[in-house]
Chain A
Amino acid sequence: NAGVTQTPKFRVLKTGQSMTLLCAQDMNHEYMYWYRQDPGMGLRLIHYSVGEGTTAKGEVPDGYNVSRLKKQNFLLGLESAAPSQTSVYFCASYEGWDTEAFFGQGTRLTVV
C-alpha cells in the first residue's frame, strides 16, 4: 500500500517554463488537495478536489491549474513558472473532509 505518491521529488525550473506535478493515491479517497509550504506560513491550500472530475480553488490558486480526470490522480500545473512559486508542494488525500489526511513526501520546486 503506497499511500500518496508525488512525482517528481525535486525540480528546478527557469522562469516562464511549465511543468506538471503528479499526485497519485491508492486508497480510493474522494478528496485530494494541493498545498504549498513556505517558511513561517505553514500550509496554504492551492486547489482541491472532492471527487473525480471536480476541482475548486483554495487560498492561493493564482498561477496554478489542476485536473482530476481519474479518481486516483490529482495533477497540479504551472503554466508559466515564476520565482514566487519556489516552494515545497504537498499533496494530501482524505476519505472525507473530517478524517485523517494522508500526505505525500513533497516536491521541492525551485524557480530561477
Chain B
Amino acid sequence: GEDVEQSLFLSVREGDSSVINCTYTDSSSTYLYWYKQEPGAGLQLLTYIFSNMDMKQDQRLTVLLNKKDKHLSLRIADTQTGDSAIYFCAESGGYQKVTFGTGTKLQVIP
C-alpha cells in the first residue's frame, strides 16, 4: 500500500530556516499536503502542491517536490516559536483516501 515517511524530530533556533522532509511511495499521487498540528488540537492544512508542480511558495513557506525521487519538503523561513508543532506530510492519488506520514515534531529554540 501507500507509504509516507518523515523523520520524527527537528530542532532549530528561532530565526533560522527549518526544512522538513518527506518521502512517499505512491507514484500516482496527485496532491501532496502539509498539515500542522498544535498541541491538543486537530490538524490544519498549511499548504499543498499539485503533482505537476516543482515548487510552491506561500509567504514564509516553500514546498519543493521532486517527483522522480518521490520527495517532498517544507521550508519555513525565519522560524518562530509559534511554529513549534507537529508537521504532517500527506498524499492522495486514488483509492479515495489520503495517506499521512508519521509527523515531524518541530522544536524552535528561542
Chain B residues, CB < 8 A from A58? 97
| CB under 8 Å from chain A, chain B span 31-81 | 31, 33, 35, 40-45, 48
Count A/B pairs, Cβ under 8 Å.
59
**Bound: A100/B31 CA distance, A:** 10
**Bound: A105/B37 CA distance, A:** 10
Q: Would A105 and B41 be within 8 Å (CB), given that A42-B88, A48-B96, A97-B96 are in contact?
A: yes
Which of A11-19, A33-41, A62-70, A79-87 forms contacts with chain B? A33-41
Total interface residues in chain B, CB < 8 Å:
27
**Bound: A56/B95 CA distance, A:** 11
Chain A residue nearest in CB terms to B101: A42
A-B contact pairs, 21 of them (CB 8 A): A4-B42, A33-B97, A40-B8, A42-B100, A43-B100, A45-B97, A45-B99, A48-B96, A50-B96, A56-B96, A59-B1, A92-B42, A94-B98, A100-B45, A101-B43, A101-B45, A103-B44, A105-B41, A106-B40, A106-B41, A106-B42
The residues of A with any CB-CB pair to B shorter than 8 Å are 4, 31, 33, 35, 40-43, 45, 48, 50, 56, 58-59, 90, 92, 94, 97-98, 100-101, 103-106
The residues of B with any CB-CB pair to A shorter than 8 Å are 1, 4, 6, 8, 30-31, 33, 35, 40-45, 48, 88, 90, 92, 94, 96-103
